[in-house]
Amino acid sequence: MGVLDYFTRPLVALLNAEKPVKGIQLSDYERLKYELKPCDVILVAGRSRVSDVIRLVTQSPWTHAALYIGRLHDIEDPDLRKIVSHYYKGDPSDRLIIESQLGVNTLVRNLDIYQKEHLRICRPARLGMKESQQVVRYSVSRLGVDYDVRHIFDLMRFLFPWSIMPRRWRSTLFEHNAGQSTRTVCSTMIAEAFAFVQFPILPLVKLSGNDSIQLFRRNPKLCTPSDFDYSPYFKIIKYPFIDIQYHDEHNLLPWNGNAQLEEEESQFYMEAESQPRSEDVEEAISLAVANTDQPRGDENEIENLQKPEDLSADNDAKEENTQEQVVSEDATSKGNVSEGAVSKEKGSSPENKPQVH
C-alpha cells in the first residue's frame, strides 16, 4: 500500500459510510428487476456521504449510475463471458451490473445489492442488439480500473465561481490526454461506453453547411448520473412501490394510518390532515362566481388602481399640455392684434386714401 493510499483510505471509508434505510423505498425492486434489459442504465439515489456530495454538486437526487449487462448467458462473446466470470464468482443466473465504486474500482456486482435503494431505469432508445453488445464490450474492458476520487473535487471546483476559487486551482476536467485514462467514475465510464457506439446522451447540436446539422459529443468527464435522466435519447422507466394502475382511484391509496413523521421528515412531508379542505375551495369558487356577476370597472376605476408614480406622471403631462395650450392661445391672440395693427397702418397710408377730384 502506497503512502497516498495510507492517507486516502480513511477518507474513502468516511465518504462511503451509508445512512440507515428509513422506511420503504419508492421503487418496487421485485417488479423493476424483471423489466431490465442489457445496456439499461440504473440510477441510484445513494445514502452515503459521497452521495451527499454528488447530490449537492449536481443538484439532483440521482448520485450513482450502473450499467446492467444481464445474466452471464446474455453475453454473446465467449471472451467477455470468461472475463466477467473471472471478476464475478457468484451464481451464473444472477443479474449483473458493471459500475465504478469509490474506494474499490470498476467491478461486476450482483444487482441485488440495490434492492433497498430508490432506483430508476434509463433505457437507450432504439439501440440494436449488436450495438448493445459493443457497449457491454467496452464496459468489460474497463473492469479493474481505479475510481477517480479527484474527479469529484474537480467537478466541485468547476462549478465554483472563479471569484471564490483561485484560477491556479482550475479544474482539470477539460484537459484532453491522449490514450485511455487510468481512472474513471461511474457516469464517465458509462458515457464512454455509449460513445463507443456513437450513441448520444446530451450532445451539442450545431448547424453545418447546406442547412445540415452536426452533433458534438459532450466531454464524458462532465457527465453526471442525472444526465441519463435528462437525455431525450433515453426512455425513463419507473416502478413505484405503490402503483396507481393497481388501484381503482388514486384517492384510495393508504394516506391515513398510525405512522408518525420524524422531525427531519416533517420539514419535507405533511400529514393527511394538512391537505387543502374542500370547504375552502368551494368558498373561493363562490367568491369568484360572485365577482363575475358584477360589471367590470370603467377607465376611471382603472386609473384609480394606477401606481402613485404613474398618477404623478400623468398629472405632470396634463400640466405640460395645459401650459402649451395657454402659450398657443397667447401666441394666436398676439398674432391677431399684430394683423389688425398692420391693416390700420395700411388704411391710413396716403396711397390708400380716397382721391378727391
Question: Residue for cell digits 464496459?
Answer: 139
Which one, of 46, 59, 42, 39, lies nearest residue 15 by Cα?
46
The predicted pLDDT at position 279 comes to 87
Which H or E run contains 204? strand 204-207
Higher pLDDT, 256 or 143: 143
Nearby residues of 92 by Cβ (< 8 Å), 6 or more positions away: 71, 72, 73, 85
Answer whether 154's CB lies under 8 Å from 171's CB: yes
The predicted pLDDT at position 220 comes to 84
pLDDT-based confidence at residue 129 (cuts at 50, 70, 90): very high
Q: What percent of the chain has pLDDT over 70?
A: 62
The predicted pLDDT at position 167 comes to 46
Domain assignments of the chain as residue spans, ordered by start: 3-267
| Mean pLDDT in residue range 117-124 | 94
Answer whether 235's CB lies under 8 Å from 207's CB: no
Answer whether 92's CB lies under 8 Å from 72's CB: yes
Residues 327, 333, 334, 335: is their CA dihedral positive or negative? positive
pLDDT-based confidence at residue 19 (cuts at 50, 70, 90): confident
| Mean pLDDT in residue range 168-175 | 45
For residue range 188-243, what is the model confidence (pLDDT) as tens digits? 889 999 999 999 999 998 888 788 888 898 888 888 899 999 999 999 998 776 66
Which one, of 101, 88, 109, 193, lies nearest residue 147 by Cα?
101
Q: Rg of the Cα trace of the chain? A: 38
Higher pLDDT, 55 or 227: 227
| Mean pLDDT in residue range 23-32 | 81
Environment class of 245 (CB within 10 Å of its CB; exposed 0-12, middle 13-18, buried 19+): exposed
pLDDT-based confidence at residue 298 (cuts at 50, 70, 90): low
Residues 225, 229, 234, 236: is their CA dihedral positive or negative? positive
Number of Cβ within a 10 Å radius of residue 151:
20
Comparing 113-127, 164-178, 262-276, 321-335, which segment has the lowest mean pLDDT? 164-178
Mean pLDDT computed over every residue of the chain: 75
The predicted pLDDT at position 141 comes to 93
For residue range 306-328, what is the model confidence (pLDDT) as tens digits? 555 554 555 555 555 555 554 55
d(CA 81, CA 64): 25
User: In degrees rounded to 5, what are phi and psi of residue 161?
Assistant: -65, 150
Most confident of 21-25, 40-44, 321-325: 40-44
Q: What single-letter amino acid sits at 191?
A: A
| Mean pLDDT in residue range 77-94 | 94
Tell whether the model's pLDDT for residue 172 goes beyond 50: no
The predicted pLDDT at position 86 comes to 94
Q: What single-letter amino acid sits at 59?
A: Q
Question: Residue for cell digits 457491454?
Answer: 136
Tell whether the model's pLDDT for residue 114 goes beyond 80: yes
The predicted pLDDT at position 52 comes to 82
Answer whether 186's CB lies under 8 Å from 102's CB: no
Start-to-end Cα distance in the chain: 143
Q: What single-letter amino acid sits at 171?
A: S
Which H or E run contains 16? helix 3-16
Answer whether 26's CB lies under 8 Å from 242's CB: no
Which one, of 125, 111, 159, lies nearest residue 228 by Cα?
125
DSSP assignment of 44-113 equals EE--BHHHHHHHHHHTSS--EEEEEEE-GGG---HHHHHHHHHH--S-TTS-EEEEE-TTS-EEEEEGGG
Superfamily of chain region 3-267: endopeptidase domain like (from Nostoc punctiforme) (3.90.1720.10)
| Mean pLDDT in residue range 81-103 | 91
pLDDT-based confidence at residue 352 (cuts at 50, 70, 90): very low
Cell numbers standing for residue 16: 462511503
Tell whether the model's pLDDT for residue 280 goes beyond 90: no
